[in-house]
């Protein structure tokens, strides 16, 4: 479905450390990749078993059972991984009566057909830092996004990666230049 799509993924040190780690043979980055692969880059109507919803850019409809089956992992393992990803602010998931709606927060934009598609659900590390006053004792702000600030309130460094799959190099995108002058 998605041909020649490039991703601008922005991760904090703690998010990257979590995704790079592996416990009991579970590839955490594989879970994120699977979610990103099914995330829509244009508004899409989704119908499953008599349930209909409109997915917006940056969202995916995939139950934990479906995700576990695709990955070959146990459903409880996938559920725990999604909970930890939500805690770290990578994705959030909302259960419906038929499926789960996952919202990806770590992808700032996609490039498809030579067009930049901004993710309206992207939460920059800088924005998470500015919300530090609204963050509860559990490190989660009022919107359910994990803050990425150290104990002394100083923002952690950001790792940005734009994958280009062997194509001509795309410049890395920072939080400061994701929206260029022409509004795209």
User: What pLDDT is recorded for position 75?
Assistant: 93
- Strand ranges inside the chain, DSSP E: 5-12, 22-23, 26-27, 44-48, 51-55, 59-61, 91-95, 100-104, 107-112, 115-118, 158-162
Range scoring the smallest mean pLDDT among 9-18, 130-139, 144-153: 144-153
Give yes or no for a contact between 67 and 36, defined as CB atoms under 8 angstroms apart.
Answer: no
Tokens of 46: 């989704």
pLDDT digits (tens, 9 = 90+) for 47-69: 877 788 899 999 999 999 999 99
Judged against a pLDDT cut of 70, whether residue 10 lies above it is answered with yes
- Do strands 107-112 and 115-118 pair parallel, antiparallel, or not at all (unpaired)? antiparallel
Report d(CA 20, CA 30) in Å as an integer. 10
Range scoring the smallest mean pLDDT among 70-79, 89-98, 156-165: 156-165
- Structural domains for the chain: 5-162 (1.10.10.10)
User: What pLDDT is recorded for position 25?
Assistant: 84
Would you say the pTM of this structure is higher than 0.75? no
């Amino acid at each position: 479905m998605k041909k020649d799509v490039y991703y601008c993924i922005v991760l904090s040190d703690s998010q990257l450390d979590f995704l790079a780690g592996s416990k009991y043979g579970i590839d955490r980055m594989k879970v994120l990749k699977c979610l990103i692969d099914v995330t829509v880059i244009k508004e899409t109507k989704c119908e499953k078993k008599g349930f209909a919803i409109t997915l917006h850019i940056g969202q995916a409809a995939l139950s934990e059972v479906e995700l576990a089956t695709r990955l070959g992992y146990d459903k409880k393992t996938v559920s725990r991984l999604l909970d930890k990803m939500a805690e770290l602010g990578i994705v959030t998931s909302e259960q419906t009566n038929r499926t789960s709606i996952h919202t990806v927060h770590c992808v700032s934009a996609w490039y498809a057909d030579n067009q930049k598609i901004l993710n309206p659900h992207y939460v920059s590390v800088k924005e998470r830092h500015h919300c530090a006053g609204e963050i509860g004792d559990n490190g989660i702000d009022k919107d359910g996004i994990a803050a990425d600030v150290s104990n002394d309130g100083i923002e952690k460094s950001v790792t940005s990666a734009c994958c280009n799959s062997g194509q001509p190099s795309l410049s890395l995108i920072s939080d400061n230049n994701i929206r260029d002058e022409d509004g795209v």
